[in-house]
Structure 1
Amino acid sequence: MGAVWRKGWRPAAVLLLILILWEGIVRLFKTPSWLLPAPSMILKEAVTGYERFLPHLQSTIGLAAAGFLIGCSIGILVAVALHLLPGVQEAVYPLLILSQNVPTIVLAPLLVIWFGFGWLPKLIVITLVCFFPVTVAALGGFRHTPVEMKQYMLMAGASQLQIFSKLEWPHSLPALFSGLKISATYSVMGAVISEWLGAKKGIGVYMTLASSSFRTDRVFVAIFIIMILSMLFFVFIQIAEKWLVRWTREEMR
């Protein structure tokens, strides 16, 4: 706990300073609330409008978590398949890179036309956002397995599957979790973008309604909630990484 405090007080102090300056500038120049609300006004709206915002928050959390799990699962499976089948990797990997050059905001309306306004197009959007960082990170981890250890296992008569499960997979975990952390933060924003396509609930819907009614304080409430959710997802993956990587290393001893 002491280590967390020693590392965390500086960014917390900077954030507090920014909020104080923000509050002071808004009050000094008497900026209209519809243009730029003060942090105190945003906090007041977050407290008083909690019950109104809660259903949207729950919807986005469920959507982001489901999309993250699906996207990361597909990303891991794709990485394993490409690693174990080098010929397929040479043919498919460039196409995966090209798929990331298509803006999500452009692809999203097409998904609505093809699949309607249900959960499916939203999950596809989040999956597309999440799977690529996981795939790239996992492939990088597989490639950085110590060559001498791989040669030793080959000399001992290990099969390709045994080398993968006993050596390459455990050594890829640190890199894989780096990709999972990136995808965890992307999943929340992917969920919000997907909700702009057409949804009844969600932070994206809440932001759209607040923006159209010039309730900028509510827009900022949604922005801060998105930031907090992304941070919580990141911390959750970080905790899982510490536990799983340590457990894997103990098993390899």
Structure 2
Amino acid sequence: MIHRRYALGLLAAATLLPSRGFADVAPQRSEIRESLARHFLDVGTVGTFVGYKVDDYLVIASDKNRSGEAKLPASTFKIPNSIIALETGVVADPDKDVFKWDGVARPIEAWNKDHTLRSAIAVSAVPVYQEIARRIGAERMQKYLDLFEYGNRDIGGGIDQFWLTGNLRIDPVQQVDFVDRLRRGVLPVSKRSQDLVRDILPVTKVGDTVIRAKSGLLGAEIGKPSLGWMVGWAEKGDARTVFALNMDCLEPRHTADRMAITQQCLGDIGAL
């Protein structure tokens, strides 16, 4: 396992982006490309995009402010939640262990059914992951968030709410750092847990590029979206680009814009 550290100076342009290293193999360069911000403006909102071109050790961001602002992770937390569920045995098999629907009809119809871990992450079923968090419990959840150095590591606000309405915060650069460690398989958990979570991540194909990503949307369960996320990585041939996007979702149509703008930004930086 490659030991990772948060070390000042690993990003050559430390004044542009938060100084965090994504691997010890080489120092990263970073740059701001303000032209990326136009994609948010084109749909009538604001947001930020951070992309890490792994082969070039290059971090590209659309801005130097929001890219470092910590926000609630919303359903992007399903990534670490899935890893912890598998690592603790709360879920033994992502395709066989079934979480029974509790019978409560919710506005998102896809949630109103039984789910496995794989199907739950595909439709971002919040009730399933809330039950998973309750089964994990606060002590184990805190242990793994500390091990992962995930955001501010604060699970205050309720074991089944801390990533939705509670105290947990993470910024886009931290998201990229965490997702890149999962991509490389160097998180401090078993290889099996990381392999399985990489496998169940939703996949979008654009030409010859495969995008593995998890969305997040605050307010989705009540039909009033406010903040949208998209985090993951793009695979094009042997090249890999890890990314995190968040944006203000001011209108329902903005929920679909998360992936569209992600693809536009990835295209602009040569990752598609």
TM-score of the superposed pair, with normalisation by structure 2: 0.25
More helix by share: 1
| Structure whose CA Rg is larger | 1
TM-score of the superposed pair, with normalisation by structure 1: 0.26
Greater relative CO (CA pairs within 8 A, separation 6+): 1
